[in-house]
């Protein structure tokens, strides 16, 4: 069999988000126009200009894992492991016995990994000295800890890796899972993004460069002023179509294509000529064998910064021409916050749900048009509409661009 021709489908979903602690509750909250953005309670934000966040509430990890194991896991690792457990349970795919567990991969994405845990423990170190450093800290903060803990908990021994491609990290994880299954490295894979950035130094670093909204989180609106930081995780189980069909799995959607490139321009500003962002969308469509005329909906990166939203809008016009005005686009970040490296996976789950139900999620808090963002952003209320082919954009600091094409099987 030519494995490069393998089709890849999504058979399991898991999510821990500020809007719900499962993929279904997350989706229902999106459908009901709920927003999780609120004044931050994790720490005292008085010293910062930004004072809002999208926090996860009611999360009880001990319902999933024993306390002695949880003590070895940073919050982002807990998110990654438990959302992966949810996705595996939803897929009905067993992780053992051999040889199946050798043919399952793990692809994780996180912008900051365990940095917030290091921040929290550094404060203890300064107050109490080296004797207060917990032995587990080294295992909590390194980048590969999440996919390693997932492997341990689920008994998965196949190809596994973590990338730290900023806010595009979990979209890259999904894309690399797609590539690995296509190329025969594995028959199935967990693609997961996880982030737990709500600590004062981490929060303050983004506040210092003035990228976060001081009040309402808006996208594609003239009054937009930046993003609101969120936390959480999302996981998707991907399989080759043959593998999924053989075991009678429920299929949410098909991953049709993927692209990844870099602006090679600036750490925080997109390339002004739009060439690389546009190329990323073009390459993703080409890899999917899909023409621009076939795209029904675009889930944008839509971070809410003045420059990013205008640049993404212009790039979409470059790729789709006049038809861009007929394609609904939206950003769901005003509802669930911007969870950095976990955002792409969270939003890909929403794309799968949109395809499943043929309902497009809205861009909340929109009210004042901007001539630089003049596409149909599905303002304030979702709508029933065709969603057979969906483009998902994810962009990150450092000029990292990643695009996924997702379709109805």
What are the tokens at 231? 């936390």
Residue with tokens 């994405």: 109
Percentage of the residues of the chain whose pLDDT score is greater than 90: 88
Find the range with the poorest average confidence among 112-126, 176-190, 263-277.
112-126
Residues 6+ apart with CB under 8 A from 409: 9, 241, 251, 253, 254
Same domain, 248 and 259: no
Do residue 381 and residue 297 come from a single domain?
Answer: yes
Residue indicated by tokens 């997702």: 406
pLDDT top residue among 4 and 355: 355
Residue 392 is encoded by which pair of tokens? 């998902």
- 109-to-2, 102, 167, 182 alpha-carbon distances in Å: 28, 21, 9, 19
pLDDT at 2: 46
What number of other Cβ atoms are within 10 A of residue 264's Cβ? 9
Question: Based on the domain organization, do 248 and 265 belong to the same domain?
Answer: no
pLDDT tens by residue, 308-359: 999 999 999 999 999 999 999 999 999 999 999 999 999 999 999 999 999 9
Q: Do 247 and 150 reside in the same domain of the chain?
A: yes
Residue 4 has pLDDT above 70, yes or no: no
DSSP state of 247: T
Give the mean model confidence (pLDDT) for residues 8-12: 98
pLDDT of residue 135: 83
Name the least confident of 108-122, 293-307, 350-364.
108-122
pLDDT tens digit string along 106-119? 999 999 998 888 88
Kindly report the number of other CB atoms within 10 A of residue 326's CB atom: 9
On whether both 242 and 271 belong to a single domain, the answer is no
Q: Mean pLDDT for the chain?
A: 95
In the predicted structure, residue 231 carries a pLDDT above the cut 70: yes
pLDDT of residue 95: 61
User: Does residue 38 share a domain with residue 23?
Assistant: yes
Backbone phi, psi, residue 245, to 5°: -65, -40
**Tens digit of each residue's pLDDT (9 = 90 or more) over 75-116:** 999 999 999 999 999 999 976 566 678 899 999 999 999 888
Count of domains in the chain? 2
| 76 and 21 inside one domain | yes
pLDDT at 334: 98
Q: Could you tell me if 141 and 184 lie in one domain?
A: yes
Q: Which residues does the annotation mark as catalytic? A: 167, 301, 338
Say how far apart CA 341 and CA 359 lie, in whole Å.
25
The CATH number of residue 344's host domain is 3.40.47.10
Would you say residue 170 has pLDDT above 50?
yes
Q: Does 324 lie in the same domain as 246?
A: no
* Domain, as residue range, for 336: 255-407
pLDDT at 5: 77
Integer Cα distance of 81 and 84 in angstroms: 5
Residue showing tokens 């769901």: 332
User: To which H or E segment does residue 154 belong?
Assistant: helix 145-154
| 223: pLDDT strictly greater than 60 | yes
Are 8 and 241 in contact, with CB atoms under 8 Å apart? yes
Query: What pLDDT digit, counting tens, does each position of 177-213 carry?
Result: 999 999 999 999 999 999 999 999 999 999 999 999 9
* pLDDT tens, position by position, 14-52: 999 999 999 999 999 999 999 999 999 999 999 999 999
- Picking from 238, 253, 268, the residue at the C-terminal end of a domain is 253
Strand, coil or helix: what is 6?
A: coil
Residue % of the chain over a pLDDT of 70: 98
Query: Do 272 and 238 fall into the same domain?
Result: no
* Confidence check: pLDDT of 3 > 60: no
The model's confidence at residue 141, banded by pLDDT at 50, 70 and 90, is: confident
Task: Output the pTM of the full model.
Answer: 0.96
Residues 208 and 340 placed together within one structural domain of the fold: no
| Structure-token pair, residue 246 | 């053989």
pLDDT of residue 134: 86
Cα Rg, the chain, nearest whole Å: 20
Q: What is the pLDDT of residue 1?
A: 39
As a whole number of angstroms, the distance between CA 257 and CA 405 comes to 5
Clarify whether residues 313 and 176 are in a common domain. Answer: no
Domain's final residue, options 192, 223, 253: 253
Query: Quick one: angle between helices 75-91 and 145-154, nearest 10?
Result: 40
């Amino acid at each position: 069999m030519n494995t490069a021709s393998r089709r890849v489908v999504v058979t399991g979903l898991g999510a821990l988000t500020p809007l719900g602690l499962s993929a279904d509750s997350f989706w229902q909250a999106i459908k009901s126009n709920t927003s999780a953005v609120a004044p931050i309670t994790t720490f005292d934000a008085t010293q910062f200009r930004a004072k809002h966040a999208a926090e996860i509430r009611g999360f009880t990890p001990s319902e999933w894992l024993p306390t002695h194991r949880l003590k070895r896991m940073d919050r982002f690792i807990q998110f990654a492991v438990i959302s992966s457990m949810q996705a595996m349970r939803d897929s009905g795919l067993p992780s053992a016995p051999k040889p199946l567990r050798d043919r399952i991969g793990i692809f994780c994405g996180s912008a900051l990994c365990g940095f917030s845990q290091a921040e929290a423990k550094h404060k203890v170190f300064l107050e109490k000295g080296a004797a207060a450093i917990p032995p587990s800290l080294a295992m909590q903060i390194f980048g590969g800890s999440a996919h390693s803990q997932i492997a341990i908990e689920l008994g998965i021994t196949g190809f596994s890796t973590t990338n730290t491609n900023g806010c595009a990290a979990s979209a890259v994880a999904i894309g690399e899972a797609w590539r690995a299954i296509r190329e025969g490295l594995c028959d199935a894979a967990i693609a997961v993004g996880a982030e737990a950035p709500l600590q004062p130094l981490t929060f303050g670093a983004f506040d210092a460069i003035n990228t976060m909204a001081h009040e309402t989180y808006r996208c594609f609106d003239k009054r937009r002023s930046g993003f609101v930081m969120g936390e959480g995780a999302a996981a998707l189980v991907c399989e080759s179509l043959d593998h999924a069909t053989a075991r009678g799995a429920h299929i949410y959607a098909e991953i049709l294509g993927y692209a990844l490139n870099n602006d090679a321009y600036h750490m925080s500003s997109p390339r002004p000529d739009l060439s690389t962002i546009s190329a990323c969308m073009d390459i993703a469509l080409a890899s999917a064998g899909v023409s621009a005329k076939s795209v029904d909906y675009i889930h944008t990166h839509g971070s809410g910064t003045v420059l990013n939203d205008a640049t993404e809008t212009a790039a979409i016009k470059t790729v789709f021409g006049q038809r861009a005005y007929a394609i609904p686009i939206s950003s769901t970040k005003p509802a669930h916050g911007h969870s950095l490296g976990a955002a792409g996976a969270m939003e890909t789950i929403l794309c799968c749900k949109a395809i499943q139900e043929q309902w497009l999620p809205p861009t909340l808090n929109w009210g004042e048009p901007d001539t630089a963002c003049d596409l149909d952003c599905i303002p304030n209320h979702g709508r029933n509409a065709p969603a057979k082919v969906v483009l998902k954009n994810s962009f990150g600091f450092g000029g990292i661009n990643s695009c996924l094409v997702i379709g109805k099987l």
